[in-house]
Structure 1
Amino acid sequence: MQLVDEFRDPALAQALLSRIDQLMTQTPLAEREVVRVMEVCGGHTHTIFRYGLDQLLPQGLELVHGPGCPVCVLPRACIDTAIAMAQQSDVILASFGDALRVPGSHKSLLQARAEGVDVRTVYSPLDALELARKHPEKEVVFLAIGFETTIPATAMTLIQAEQEGVDNFSMLARHISIIPTLQALLDDPELAVDAFIGPGHVSMVIGTAPYQFVSQRYQRPLVVSGFEPLDLLQSIHMVLEQLATGQPKVENQYARVVSEAGNAQACVAIHALFEPAQSSEWRGLGAIEGSGLQFRTAFSHFDAEQRFAAVLQSEPAATPEYACCGEVLRGSLKPRACPLFGRECTPEHPVGALMVSSEGACAACYQYRGDETP
């Protein structure tokens, strides 16, 4: 079905919902107690809650929220490290706004700023580089987070800093990769997910080809989706068609933006500066092999952890998470089922990182469903 330019047209939405209803009444879908589809991306989760898409779907079809929000998987230890760097008298720490509110073991970056630490909000890594230019007497550290969507901007900023010889600029890099993450989820024997809605923004960079293992090795459908309501409804319809025919594959609903090969120039920039780390710690999920990225040797002088190694050696280990973030990220628990949801844990006073970003499942649920009875 071809979508028109208006991606929120009620008539088109109703037509897609009718076709979804029909598929769910057909064999073999009708024989299943529940069909569970995971949307990997936090942007999709936000759209689902904002427009109530999950409430429009037929009984027996359940949407599961995945780990695709980079703020939501930022571990406490990373926040502790960032605060330790920022507490040095000659340091300016620059970060995206959402990351400032993520709880560390004892406080957030926002709370550290209230105590007098120099923490600045920036909108891009280039803004952080500009701070370094303006303050040559300071060490400027940029907290670099995100999936492949944001890594090219980080890489290009470092290349520019190298060309200009800006030596008071470094990064605390916590970039992560989506493919090892999906594989770790699929290797989890407790994962009860029948199909995936693939991330649109990440796929703009890496393309759709890297997802082939999902259908070929694990026999799960995956459809890369856009972010409008009709995008998601059409993507749900597409994965259901695959489940109905028993022929899982990778499809691209977001073809107006995403290609099979992705953005070659962006991928070259990523690989020029970063290489896979052996493992990376995820908030609520633990260590995922191959999911993290580290600086290549030629750019390791931009690694803030090397520059501040003496300070970081005395940092205490992060305390355990006691919110149910891990269960929500794996799709085994709905946000409102967490005993802290809306009580101890709110967007104003987040205990878990999923309550911080607007793309976090708990924050989106609280914003659009906060007044509902659990």
Structure 2
Amino acid sequence: MKYISEFRQQDLAQQLAKAIAQTVDPNRHYRLMEFCGGHTHAIFRYGVQDLMPANVEFIHGPGCPVCVLPTGRIDNAIQLAERPEVILCTYADLIRVPATGRNSLLKAKAGGSDIRMVYSTQDALKIARENPDKQVVFFAIGFETTTPPTAVAIKQAQAEGLTNFTVFCNHVLTPAAMQAILDAPQPVAIDAFLGPSHVSTVIGSQPYEIFAERYNKSIVIAGFEPLDVMQSALMLIRQLNEGRHEVENEYSRAVTREGNQKAQALVREVFELRPQFEWRGLGLIPDSALKLKADYADFDAERRFDMPAIQASDVKGCECPAILRGAKKPQDCKLLGTVCTPENPMGSCMVSSEGACAAYWSYGRVRG
């Protein structure tokens, strides 16, 4: 398979839909959580949900790193950006996420703070080289997929002696969040997981085996194209029908059991686990995020600027926290499509390009 279009063929989708309809047990309900927002958007962009039997339900999970970042970390970034000596570099999705008091990085930028949208860590390094009289802070965020490039940037800055470059680290770990969802005091009913594909190219499929063995959950590492999602759903349904709880890899064109060991080694060299980290909707999760090791402390913005932990609340009435743990769906939020729109987002699920609320809005599932 060489082209994306091969994973979007209508005739193959119809064949898969027929196979799924023939395979499901009409007497049971299948609850499949897609952890990643890329899957959520594929499901609604291509009408995958409409091709499923009525007893196959997709449950939306944490979605994306921007979605699960707590409000207090946005407040931290705004405080950093308001310092006259700082240039804050950030990805575009973060710029509009609501902070305390409906503030945001976009509003801080409009108020005069030097906040620059970048496409990569290399853009941030370039800005640091070009502005030696400024402190350039890269707002690092992401699951395991984007952590290796941040590690590369830190090592480059150290090698070049870039003393004006630091990282505000918000890299979080997928398996820890999956465990938190399953260990919740009132866990959501989930039969199986569509495992995140891009994350798994880095960490491999092995870290998910504990969920099959200890929690009896079926898992399929699923690609992001519509046929990937449908084939993965069929694989999960077959597992559940047969009473199997295994980790299967539909995305074998990019994912192995061991993952990218060179990238893993690089991350281990630069980062270490935080004892705990707050996730929006999931609360404090132990060993779920990364921080810079002592050898790279000079490039840690939290140490250089002595940043305090900030406890903040979400917008009243916003159901993003419940949506991110699968307890509710976007249509359960009274704000969606009324006061909460892409132009006036109340929560991160509407802001992020991978957010569940953004998917419902973009593909016509809800309108005010």
Q: Distance in 1 between matches of 2:160 and 2:367?
A: 54
Q: Distance in 1 between matches of 2:359 and 2:326?
A: 15
CA deviation after TM superposition for structure 1 residue 31, in Å: 2.5
Match for residue 60 of structure 2 among 59, 65, 69: 65
Tell me if 1:176 matches 2:172: yes
Counterpart residue number, 1:124: 120
Q: Distance in 2 between matches of 1:4 and 1:159?
A: 34
Tell me if 1:201 matches 2:198: yes
Match for residue 256 of structure 1 among 253, 258, 267: 253
Counterpart residue number, 1:10: 10
CA deviation after TM superposition for structure 1 residue 272, in Å: 0.6
CA deviation after TM superposition for structure 1 residue 316, in Å: 6.2
> Contact 1:13/1:230 (CA < 8 Å) preserved in 2?
yes
Counterpart residue number, 2:141: 145
Map 1:87-126 to 2 at 5 A.
Answer: 87-106=82-101, 107-126=103-122
Q: Which runs of 4+ in 1 moved over 4 A?
A: 370-373
Q: Distance in 1 between matches of 2:147 and 2:19?
A: 38
Counterpart residue number, 1:365: 360
Tell me if 1:235 matches 2:229: no
TM-score of the two chains, using structure 2 as the length reference: 0.96
Counterpart residue number, 2:337: 342
> Alpha-carbon deviations, 1:207-257, whole Å to 9, x = none?
001110111111110000111110000000000000000011000000011
Map 1:250-329 to 2 at 5 A.
Answer: 250-309=247-306, 312-313=307-308, 317-322=311-316, 323-329=318-324
CA deviation after TM superposition for structure 1 residue 190, in Å: 2.3
Q: Distance in 1 between matches of 2:325 and 2:365?
A: 22
Unmatched segments (≥5 aa) in structure 2: none
CA deviation after TM superposition for structure 1 residue 369, in Å: 2.0
> Contact 2:314/2:347 (CA < 8 Å) preserved in 1?
no
CA deviation after TM superposition for structure 1 residue 354, in Å: 0.4
> Alpha-carbon deviations, 1:4-54, whole Å to 9, x = none?
971111111111111111111xxxx3322x211001111111111111111
> Contact 1:277/1:294 (CA < 8 Å) preserved in 2?
yes
Closer, same or farther: CA 5–354 of 1 in aligned 2, 3 Å: closer
Q: Distance in 1 between matches of 2:314 and 2:323?
A: 16
> Alpha-carbon deviations, 1:308-360, whole Å to 9, x = none?
11xx45x8642344311111111121101101101111111111100011210
Q: Distance in 2 between matches of 1:123 and 1:5?
A: 26
Query: Which 10-residue stretch deviates more, 124-133 or 280-289?
Result: 280-289
Closer, same or farther: CA 52–133 of 1 in aligned 2, 3 Å: same
Q: Distance in 1 between matches of 2:350 and 2:257?
A: 33
Closer, same or farther: CA 153–252 of 1 in aligned 2, 3 Å: same
Match for residue 39 of structure 2 among 37, 44, 54: 44
> Contact 2:223/2:250 (CA < 8 Å) preserved in 1?
yes
Closer, same or farther: CA 364–41 of 1 in aligned 2, 3 Å: same
TM-score of the two chains, using structure 1 as the length reference: 0.94
> Alpha-carbon deviations, 1:124-160, whole Å to 9, x = none?
1111011000000000000000000000000011001
Counterpart residue number, 1:355: 350
Map 1:149-160 to 2 at 5 A.
Answer: 149-160=145-156
**Matched AA of 1:307:** R
CA deviation after TM superposition for structure 1 residue 372, in Å: 5.6
Q: Distance in 2 between matches of 1:75 and 1:190?
A: 21
Q: What SS does structure 1 have at the residue aligned with 2:7?
A: coil
> Contact 2:180/2:282 (CA < 8 Å) preserved in 1?
no
Q: Distance in 1 between matches of 2:292 and 2:299?
A: 8
Q: Distance in 2 between matches of 1:4 and 1:13?
A: 14
